[in-house]
Amino acid sequence: MTTKKKWSAKVDTDSTHPDEGLFNESASAIAKALASKKVSPKGPASGMRMLNFYINRAGKNLSEARHAELERAKTMLSDIIAEQKADKPAASKNASPKAAKKTAKKATKTASKSARKKSATK
């Protein structure tokens, strides 16, 4: 299942297009394919954009059953995105102390500036 790409010039990009006929498959197959790095190298959110684009463009000419199947794929893909977002904070716990220190420094600087302004106005 290779996609026929029509580029007018050489393009160096990470984006790709879904395989031909992907949106004719079942909802779970669509969601899994759009969440994969092969179809969506920028992550499943780019797959969601592809799916939304397809629904908005081709949705006018689709049957109600097919449209419902695509909406199910959209729900499944959003669940996959939510799972990945839930996994990320656990991995970034090491970065949070640095962010807390920066926030504390900014708060201290702001407090000292406001204290200087108050003493200057008295």
The model carries a pTM of 0.57
Closest CA to 19 of 50, 45, 62, 43: 50
Task: Write out pLDDT tens, residues 41-90.
Answer: 778 888 888 888 888 888 778 888 998 999 999 999 999 888 888 877 65
Q: Where are the domains of the chain?
A: 22-91
Q: Assess contact for 18 and 48: CB atoms under 8 A.
A: no
- pLDDT of amino acid 116: 62
